[in-house]
Chains A and B, each alone.
Chain A
Amino acid sequence: MLDIKRIPIPALIGIVLTTLFVLAALFAPWIAPHGNGEIIGDVWEPMSSAHWLGTDNLGRDLLSRMIYGARITLFIAVLATALSFSLGAILGFSAAVFGGWYDTLLSRLVDLLMSIPTLIMALVVLSVLPTNLITLILVMGILDSTRVYRLSRAVAVDINVMDYVEAAKLRGEGSGWIIFREILPNALSPLVSELGLRFIYAVLFLSTLSFLGLGVQPPDADWGGMVKENKDGIVFGIGAALIPAAAIAMLAISVNLVADWVLNRTTSLKGGRG
């Protein structure tokens, strides 16, 4: 079905870069030239043939830290996205189909949660919760699920009033058939592109938290944490902090390019095949 030549160049770049990031994360111990916490040189050594990206604030190999950082960043972001997506989509769909007080209650609760900026609410909660991976994933996942809830509910409500869904209800179909056979196949394309956007948001959100010192705790570091570690070098003209920051930007752009393409591809298909 999918012809590589038909994929537009921006999307192709996005796919290649995203794949590279994922591969780096998966095979970190085999690819990285040095260990994650290994001190191998002076503080903030410039880029050289020995250390392609130089060394960090403690004299660790920056490239190796980046590769291990990809692992932590992607791991947490993927889990948080998975949580926010499944939670949001399940609640959103069921709210649309069942309606009534169930819908009202959930929707008001989501309205309430969304009336506080996500970062602020996260900071409030993190001020009392222990900082570990599970807390991070739960806080990120639950706070972000509100957006997925809104989208999937809106999409499902639109589909739920279509005549073909009414026809299925008149036929006497149960809610299982209606959700999985009538609504879901038609809701999939907006949701898939939203998945990409939610993932980008999770990466940016995690990086921000870590940058503020409230995310991944040392000695482990995701890319946001590495920016924090190396930020003091900036005033001396040492750009080590810019490298992980640029990596975050690059990952986000790549996924964005792919998501954009998926969205365009599916919306131009009016239905049927594909």
Chain B
Amino acid sequence: MADTKAKPGQPKQGLLLDIRNLRIEATVYPPGEPPKNIVLVHDVSLTLEKGKVLGLIGESGAGKSTIGLSSMGYGRGGVRITGGEVLLNGRDILKGGKEGFRKLRGREVCYVAQSAAAAFNPAHRLMDQVVEATLLHGTATRAEAEKRAVALFKKLSLPNPETIGERFPHQVSGGQLQRVMTAMALCSEPDLIVFDEPTTALDVTTQIDVLAAIKEAIRDTHVAALYITHDLAVVAQVSDEIMVLRDGKKVEHGETRRIIEAPRTDYTKALVSVRSIEHEEKELTPTALLSVRGATAAYGGGVVKVLQNVSVDVRPGQTLAVVGESGSGKSTLARVVTGLLPPISGSITFAGRTLAPRLAARSKDDLRELQMIYQMADVAMNPRQPVGTIIGRPLEFYFGMRGRERDHRVAELLDEIEMGKGFMDRYPAELSGGQKQRVCIARALAAKPKLIICDEVTSALDPLVANGILKLLLNLQQHEKVAYLFITHDLATVKSIADSIAVMYRGEVVRYGAKSKVLTPPFDAYTDLLLSSVPEMEIGWLEKAIKGRRIESGGH
């Protein structure tokens, strides 16, 4: 083992990881049925040269994390490797048994998890956790390991690299923890690091810093990496090669530039073009459907101000996208408009009437004409009600429809969301993620609303599914002339759907206007930061973006 380890700082050559016909299975226990085996990964093969980065990309259920962890001989929650070979530094690790796995984990292969906040033990100081694997495998003394860790903290541009190790995980922000975790993986100088969606949980302006730090660290230490993500634009920045996976099978494998610029399969083509819905901006009408004027709102009896003097308009049949990062107050704005959180000051007019600040004081028509769709479709529907009841209830409640008239209308609505009336008797648990969100859209449409508030409706969905939902929303807007107040953190989505845009930062609207105006320079500092942080499907974007940034993000 030791002879295969080159000194750090020098490029290494030769084959590091060779996975051959890997087959991974798990046993599932469906309620009321005998347990059965399902295959998560179907005979996937891949190779990785020393010092290279391979991106594994796919939607949820593609098996990318499962494959990544198999390089450490690890299966989450009863997952078993049932076939194939995993050759690391020339030996099949699957034959090494438990003892063999323990020797390679934390020494030859290290892991960086999606949520560093959960992956650090809250009871120990960061430094103790960072050097733990190094000390365990006896590859350095404590003093050496700590020196190495501090150097890595510096390289990853963590603030106070000398002392940050003294802290406990809860004393450090999410973006910093992710970098500390990368340092932890690099500290024992492994040959391979498995990055499992390391930036997915971060805000976009924090993501870019972490991404740049990871890329630099990989380059300087010449460690090889498996980089797992669902975001093709992200993986294009860090990897040499990309493998596209779907339902546990390999779809396409190639050099990064080739995959992005000349994808061969339809599935990869769809993934590459996922962010390019063309949406022509509509002419702004003089009258507004919804006008929010000077809204200020707070939680905890006025102590924590989360919304300050916000004024925006939504025009009939058009879309206003409210964009911002976590803590920007964009979801609070939705709660104020719906009446769930009465504002301290400010007014809301809707369709020519002044809306009561409190939900309880609003008329049935106010409620009907203003509908809402949520981010998590599975918790937005009562699991004990079939689709027919979920969509039918607003028809009963607002229009007094009963029996066949109601069922007929439910069927029409199901058609509109491109599902058949066969779904009427299904329960939410029996639907896919995209179908669930469609049912929620139908429930909102059933009320014949003038405005639908869409709160991050596509963020929990896989890119292709999200794309379908966006297209559906655009179609429906054309037919039903419904306006959207579209809340999102994702600028690519904004470009696809908005007619006008409000950019929010720390409870205030920092930029507001027609889409073309908002997205055209000159920018204010925050909008510039936000726009420049959104990964683009282009090699070399990361370096350009980092160079062009004017202000540091607020993430650390």
Contacts and interface: CB of A to CB of B under 8 A. Distances in A.
Interface string A164-187: 101101111100000001100110
Nearest to B453: A170
Contacts of A6: 32
Contacts of A186: 382-384
A127 interface: no
A6 B339 CA distance: 49
A272 B430 contact: yes
A163 B379 CA distance: 6
Interface hub of B372, B374, B382 (most chain A Cβ within 10 A): B382
B340 A170 contact: yes
A3 to B, nearest CB: 9
Contacts of B339: 170
Contact of A171 (B340, B379, B397, B430): B397
A171 B365 CA distance: 10
A164 B382 contact: yes
Interface in B245-276: none
Contact of B367 (A170, A185, A268): A170
B376 interface: yes
B273 to A, nearest CB: 32
Nearest to A1: B32
Contacts of A274: 31-32
Interface in A122-170: 162-164, 166-167, 169-170
Given A162-B379, A271-B383, A271-B428, A170 B31 contact: no
A9 B205 CA distance: 57
Given A167-B374, A170-B367, A271 B29 contact: no
A272 B386 CA distance: 7
A182 B382 contact: yes
B374 A172 contact: no
A172 B364 contact: yes
A269 B29 CA distance: 11
Contact of B29 (A181, A182, A185, A268): A268
A158 B434 CA distance: 25
A167 B380 contact: yes
B429 interface: yes
A163 B376 contact: yes
Q: How large is the interface on A (under 10, 10 to 19, 20 to 34, 35 or more residues)?
A: 20 to 34
Interface string B411-435: 0000000000000000111100000
A191 B393 CA distance: 26
Contact of A272 (B29, B359, B372, B427): B427
Contacts of B41: none
A274 B31 CA distance: 10
Nearest to A164: B382
A108 interface: no
B394 interface: yes
Interface string B366-387: 0110011010100111111010
A172 B340 contact: no
B178 interface: no
A6 B32 CA distance: 8
Interface string A230-274: 000000000000000000000000000000000001001111111
B384 A170 contact: no
B547 to A, nearest CB: 42
A186 B383 CA distance: 8
B24 to A, nearest CB: 24
Interface string B344-365: 0000000000000001001010
B382 A171 contact: no
A185 B382 contact: yes
A169 B374 contact: no
A164 B31 contact: no
A268 B364 CA distance: 39
Nearest to A172: B367
B338 A170 contact: yes
B450 to A, nearest CB: 15
A169 B359 contact: yes
B393 A272 contact: no
Contact of B374 (A163, A181, A265, A270): A163
A273 B367 contact: no
B429 A167 contact: no
Nearest to B365: A172
Contact of A270 (B371, B380, B429): B429
B413 to A, nearest CB: 16
Given A268-B29, A270-B383, A167 B372 contact: yes
B379 A185 contact: no
Question: Which among A167, A169, A181 has the highest number of chain B CB atoms within 10 Å?
Answer: A167
Interface string B168-192: 0000000000000000000000000
A58 B111 CA distance: 75
Contacts of A181: 382
Nearest to B397: A171
A166 B371 CA distance: 12
Contacts of A169: 340, 359
User: Which 8 pairs from chain A and chain B are nearest by CB?
Assistant: A271-B383, A272-B427, A185-B384, A163-B380, A268-B31, A271-B429, A172-B367, A164-B382
Given A6-B32, A170-B339, A171-B397, 15 more contacts: A163-B376, A166-B340, A167-B372, A170-B340, A170-B371, A171-B447, A172-B364, A173-B397, A185-B384, A265-B31, A268-B31, A270-B31, A271-B383, A271-B427, A274-B31
13 contacts: A6-B32, A162-B379, A163-B379, A164-B380, A164-B381, A166-B340, A170-B339, A170-B372, A172-B397, A181-B382, A186-B382, A265-B31, A273-B427
